[in-house]
């Protein structure tokens, strides 16, 4: 009788999970004075505090000063720059987010008015799969905001309109401190029409309409007196954007097909 064939015991190798990647976009227009200082500060924070890989993308919105030169000369690992021929914060975010290979995409204003300590609470629910989008809120309980009465009144009235007229459930549409799961935002982008300041609001309204989860993080925020934002013009553009979205809703054209929620999302170190 022949000897039985003995097979070696199966070798089991430990599963090494892929490291997660977060891409942070900083849209800029004529910010040659503050760009390098802000990007170095952001880079130092992410290196010290974010337990994941990251990329910082400077999106130059057709600047007419030396912003592009400053952006391309920043010799920091994980920092890159893209140039757009037209202005528009929404246009810049669409360009970078639609091509991103990161797990989570985010953006923040170049003045870093929002305290960076809010960034980890912003992205962690997305990396864990708990939420689909996340926003910094200056109006949520626990937030601390320093700004003039004009901006405060306009902001509160605008967000009140969103809640009463558009039935929005989020508290602060305009804070320049947001993030989303990349596969989710890439599914939403084709249905978002705005290319400028209303882009954020339209994206959030669409996300809520298709049943996605929006996580809010109360943030500390200090107004930048040198901001390039024309508050009154932006508010009027936002009102026109709200009217356009209401028309799309009535016409049944405000929707998107998004990926089904995943059963679980591992947190790789």
Please provide residue 124's backbone torsions phi and psi, each rounded to the nearest 5 degrees. -60, -45
What pLDDT does residue 19 have? 83
What pLDDT does residue 134 have? 98
Q: For domain 21-250, say whether CATH 3.90.550.10 is its number.
A: yes
Catalytic site residue from 200, 224, 226, 237: 200
What pLDDT does residue 174 have? 87
What pLDDT does residue 18 have? 58
pTM of the model: 0.86
Exposed/middle/buried for residue 154 (C-beta within 10 Å: 0-12, 13-18, 19+): middle
132 is catalytic: no
What pLDDT does residue 192 have? 98
Measured CA to CA, the distance from residue 101 to residue 111 in angstroms comes to 26
Mean pLDDT by 10 residues, the chain (269 residues): 44 55 98 97 98 98 97 96 96 98 98 96 96 95 82 81 91 94 98 96 97 97 72 80 95 92 41
Measured CA to CA, the distance from residue 210 to residue 204 in angstroms comes to 10
């Amino acid at each position: 009788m022949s000897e039985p064939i003995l097979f070696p015991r199966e070798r089991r190798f430990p599963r090494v999970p892929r490291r997660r990647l977060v891409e942070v976009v900083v849209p800029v227009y004529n910010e040659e004075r503050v760009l390098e200082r802000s990007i170095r500060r952001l880079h130092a924070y992410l290196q010290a505090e974010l337990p994941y890989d990251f990329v910082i993308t400077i999106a130059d919105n057709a600047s007419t000063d030396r912003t592009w030169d400053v952006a391309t000369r920043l010799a920091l690992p994980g920092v890159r720059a893209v140039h757009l021929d037209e202005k528009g914060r929404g246009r810049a975010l669409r360009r970078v987010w639609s091509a991103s290979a990161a797990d989570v995409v985010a953006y923040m204003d170049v003045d870093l008015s929002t305290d960076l300590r809010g960034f980890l609470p912003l992205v962690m629910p997305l990396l864990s799969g708990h939420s689909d989008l996340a926003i910094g809120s200056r109006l949520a309980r626990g937030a601390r905001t320093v700004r003039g009465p004009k901006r405060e009144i306009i902001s509160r009235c605008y967000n009140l309109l969103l809640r009463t007229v558009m039935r929005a459930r989020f508290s602060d549409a305009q804070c320049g401190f947001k993030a989303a799961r990349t596969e989710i935002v890439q599914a939403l982008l084709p249905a978002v029409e705005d290319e400028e300041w209303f882009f954020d609001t339209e994206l959030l309204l669409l996300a809520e309409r298709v049943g996605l989860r929006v996580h809010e993080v109360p943030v500390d925020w200090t107004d930048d007196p040198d901001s390039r934002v024309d508050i009154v013009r932006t508010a009027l553009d936002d009102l026109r954007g709200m009217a356009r979205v209401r028309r799309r809703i009535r016409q049944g054209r405000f929707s998107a097909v998004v990926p089904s929620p995943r059963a679980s999302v591992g947190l790789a170190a």
